[in-house]
Amino acid sequence: MKMETYMPAVPLRPFIKAYKIIESGDEQTNRVVPDTSFALAFRFKGQISSITEGWKTTLPAATFSGLRKSVRLFNYAAQTSALIVQFEETGLPAFFKPPLHGLFEQSISLDNFFPGSEISIVEERLSEAPDNLAKIAIVEQFLCDKLFYNKPDKLVLEAINKIHSSNGIIRIKELAKSLYISNDAFEKRFRRAVGATPKQFSSIIKLKAIIGQNPGSGSFTDIAFEHGYYDQPHFNKDFKLFTGQAPTEFFNSGLYW
């Protein structure tokens, strides 16, 4: 599987983190661990299916995915290509009006948000584009046409920075207090901007920080305690939900993104 990453044009950088173009020559199953960014996938060649409990479900050509707490398995048929848009953590409200928290753990067709005729035109143009840069230009034009808001919530941005700096090990009530806002008001505001609760978001950050350490053969008990877990069984349970594998198996496999 070949994957190339591209940066967005300057006007879209406050809202888009990156574009990834994925191409599979042979059939392959890819493991995608949860992330803090919404993703929009345009498949312009072949077929992509999600795998749940051994069952394959073919995904629409344009699929929108919310934040998740659990791993996803995607099967790429031979000769399949797709363009993935990764949004910034508070970037999606610039394009989409629906309540983002309702999309948690969801992957749905893009035509739930925009007219199918518009999406069909994008898909057709992508299939005819001569190269990757031309494909990105097509998707960027689509996104620019949908851009209607460009003022991210500064309080939520500050909260996100604090969660990142603590590697997700933070008490949400104390975080809200540090921002001079009630816990209930903070939860609603955060969910509206990010698409997940502060607790769900912090959990993703915490487990991604653990994966980023790549402890290998190190003590998982020590790692669990260092990241706020009271015992290893609780850590193992969360880790397997997040990655689909036990810690040792996951770090030995290396097959994920």
Q: Which residue positions in the chain have pLDDT lower than 70?
A: 150, 214-218, 254-257
Same domain, yes or no: 122 and 194: no
Counting the structural domains of the chain, the total is 2
Query: What is the structure's pLDDT at 255?
Result: 55
Q: Which of 152, 202, 208 is nearest to 172 (CA)?
A: 202
Same domain, 28 and 110: yes
Identify the DSSP state of 10. G
Are residues 57 and 10 part of one domain?
yes
Query: How many other CB atoms are there within 10 angstroms of residue 159's CB atom?
Result: 27
* Token pair in block for residue 246: 């036990």
The residue from 98, 121, 146 where one domain ends is: 146
Long-range contacts of 137-143 (CB under 8 A, 24+ apart): 139/19, 139/42, 139/83, 139/85, 140/8, 140/9, 140/12, 142/118, 143/12, 143/15, 143/16, 143/85, 143/95
Confidence at residue 123, expressed as pLDDT on a 0 to 100 scale: 92
Of 87, 117, 146, the domain-final residue: 146
Q: Quick one: 101 and 227 in the same domain? A: no
CATH number for the domain spanning 68: value is: 2.60.120.10
Of 98, 116, 146, the domain-final residue: 146
Q: Which two tokens stand for residue 87?
A: 């949004």
Indicate whether this model's pTM tops 0.95.
no
| In contact, 83 and 137? CB cutoff 8 Å | no
CA distance 39 to 9: 17
CB 151 within 8 A of CB 134: no
Asked whether 80 and 26 are in contact (CB, 8 A), the reply is no
113 and 175, same domain (yes or no): no
Whether 20 and 115 map to the same domain: the answer is yes
- CA nearest neighbour of 156 among 36, 18, 16, 64: 36
Range of the domain at 192: 154-253
Say if residue 159 is in the same domain as residue 60: no
Long-range contacts of 210-218 (CB under 8 A, 24+ apart): 210/239, 211/33, 211/243, 211/250, 214/251, 215/247, 215/251, 216/251
Given this model, what pLDDT does residue 256 score? 58
Distance CA 59, CA 127 (A): 17
Cβ–Cβ under 8 Å, residues 91 and 107: no
Question: Are 217 and 100 members of one domain?
Answer: no
Query: For the domain that residue 248 is a member of, what is the CATH number?
Result: 1.10.10.60
Give the model's pLDDT for residue 254: 60
